[in-house]
Chains A and B, each alone.
Chain A
Amino acid sequence: DQQVKQNSPSLSVQEGRISILNCDYTNSMFDYFLWYKKYPAEGPTFLISISSIKDKNEDGRFTVFLNKSAKHLSLHIVPSQPGDSAVYFCAAYSGGGADGLTFGKGTHLIIQP
C-alpha cells in the first residue's frame, strides 16, 4: 500500500513557466516532508523540505506547500529551466518508529524549450 503517492508519472512544461508537482500521503504520522531530484544514473539529490508545523517553505525558484488537512503537498518551480528536467520524488518521515524515508514513485518533469 503506497503511503506516499505521486499520481502523475510525467509532466511536460514550457521553459519559463511554472512547474507544479503534486504529492499525496495517507499516513497521518508523517511529520516531515522532502523533495528529491534525480538525474539518470545518479543518486537522488535533496532539493527542499518542510516540517508539518509549516505550510510553506521557499528556496530560490523552489517552493513547497503543505496542506495537512488534505494530506497533500506540492512543489512549485518558477521559472522552469531546461536543467530542471529530471525525476522528482516526494518523501516523508514518520513521527514514530524507524527513521527511514518513505518515497513516492516519482514524477518525470520534462521542460520544453
Chain B
Amino acid sequence: EAEVAQSPRYKITEKSQAVAFWCDPISGHATLYWYRQILGQGPELLVQFQDESVVDDSQLPKDRFSAERLKGVDSTLKIQPAELGDSAMYLCASSLGRSEPLHFGNGTRLTVT
C-alpha cells in the first residue's frame, strides 16, 4: 500500500535555529495537510494545500512558520526561529479530496532545546 513519506523522523535543534521538514504524499493525492500534535493532544491543522495552492493556513504561526508545495507534489514546512514550545510531532497527510480519509505519514518528532 502506498504511503506518505516524511523526513527526518527525529530532529533535535536549539531554540532560535531554523528547521525544515519534508513530505511526499501518496501519488495522485491533490490535497496535502500539515498537522502538529503535542503530547496528550489530538493533531491540529497547520496548513492545507490543494495542488500547489494554500487552502487554509489560518492556524499557521506565520511569523515563524512557512510552508510550500511548489510543484503540487512534495511539500516543505519550515520553522525559523524555533522556540521551545514548538517541540511536538509534525504530521503530514494527504487525501484524494473532501470527505476522503486522510492518510498520514509517520511524522517528524521535533525537540527544541
| Contact yes or no, B104 A44, CB < 8 A | yes
Report the bound CA distance from A44 to B31 in whole Å: 17
A12-20, A56-64, A69-77, A92-100: which lies at the interface: A92-100
Which residues of B sit under 8 angstroms from A6, Cβ to Cβ? 42
Q: Count of B residues near A, CB < 8 Å?
A: 26
Q: Are the CB atoms of A43 and B106 closer together than 8 Å?
A: yes
- A: which residues have CB within 8 A of B? 4, 6, 9, 32, 34, 36, 41-46, 49, 51, 89, 91, 93, 97-106
Residues of A with C-beta under 8 A to B107: 42-43
Of all A-B residue pairs in the complex, the 9 with the closest CB atoms, nearest first, are A103-B42, A43-B104, A98-B56, A100-B45, A46-B101, A99-B98, A32-B99, A43-B106, A105-B42
Pick the residue among A34, A51, A98 that contacts B55 (CB under 8 A). A98
Residue of B nearest to A49 (CB): B101
Q: A99-B48, A100-B45, A100-B48 are in contact. Are A44 and B91 (CB under 8 A)?
A: yes
State the B residues within 8 Å of A (CB).
4, 31, 33, 40-45, 48, 55-56, 58, 91, 93, 97-99, 101-107, 109
The answer to whether B42 touches A89 (Cβ under 8 A) is: yes
A89 touches B98 (CB 8 A): no
- Nearest-CB distance from B13 to chain A (Å)? 19
Whether B31 and A99, one on each chain, are in contact in the complex, defined by CB atoms closer than 8 angstroms, is yes
A89 CA to B41 CA in the complex, in Å?
10
Measured CB to CB, the nearest residue on chain B to A105 is B42
Q: Which residues of A contact B93 (CB under 8 A)?
A: 43
Of the listed residues A9, A44, A97, the one surrounded by the most CB atoms of chain B closer than 10 A to its CB is: A44
CB closest chain-A residue, reference B105: A43
Can you list 18 residue pairs at the A/B interface with Cβ under 8 Å?
A43-B4, A43-B93, A44-B43, A45-B104, A46-B102, A51-B99, A89-B43, A93-B99, A98-B58, A99-B31, A99-B48, A99-B98, A100-B33, A101-B45, A104-B42, A105-B42, A106-B41, A106-B42
